[in-house]
Amino acid sequence: MGNPEGRRTGLLDGRTALVTGAGTGIGRATALMLAEEGATVVLVGRRPHLLAEVAAVVEGAGGRAVVHPAHVDKADDVRELVERTREVAGPVDILVNNAGGAGHEGDVRRLGEDEWNAVLGVNLTGVYLLTRAVLPDMVERGGGSIITISSLAAIRPTSLGGAPYGAAKAGVRSFMTYLRNTFGDDLVRATCILPGEVDTPVLDSRPQPPSEERRAAMVRPKDVARAVLLCATLPPRTVVEELVIAPTSSGWSGGRPAPGPRRPS
């Protein structure tokens, strides 16, 4: 992206960032933040109208955005996505693997194979396909950043997210470690971010959506986006290997009894 007269110099001027799941939530906040620092953002998702809305915000602020709807778990879609990105915006410097989603069945005894495969497809296989597609350019050009949004479910899986979700998020955590151990000397930085509960629209689809009080205590999408920005803007010699972002409060303070008098020490 150029440097229009009057615009401040950004930390990511001249870089191309591909962000999946960019239409809402963490992906949207990340794309806006990276664009604000000068990156050309390639917005990927399955709902074109949401991607177009994000692109309009980026361009309205003087940035550059490219919209490319795609299914990240389909090899042909990913191949076309990366080839088009190279043509219109240049090779990918920063890949943000954010697309994902949980299943509907929390009890593995009732979990069907279709749901298992679908959840692993978008959360794990998509990360593999995108990484495989961008790695050759990163190695050839002397480095790049691959930042994957995992989840605390990778460490503490529960029935709320479901068995395939936890397994997939643990899988991408392991995959990022593999990338660091294999391509670190090529200055390819692989980062895994593990957020706790994040207040996004997907919470509305739960059988029992969380209360407003609970949501107020959650991590916000922009909090995770700030972490992505940090990882993407550190000097090439430095990598954030793993970063856990969790709510400070449990969100249940309204029902917590007041603390009693302190005993003298």
Catalytic positions are 165
Inter-residue contact 103 to 157 (CB < 8 Å): no
Rounded to whole angstroms, how far apart are CA atoms 225 and 216? 18
- Tokens 């995770």 sit on residue: 224
Length of the chain equals 265
Q: How many CB atoms lie within 10 A of CB 263?
A: 5
Q: SS3 of 242, please?
A: strand
* Tokens coding 160: 């709320």
Rounded to whole angstroms, how far apart are CA atoms 233 and 252? 36
* Tokens coding 54: 């994000």
> By C-alpha distance, which of 154, 165, 179 is closest to 122?
165
Q: What is the distance in angstroms between the CA of the first residue and the CA of the last residue of the chain?
A: 62
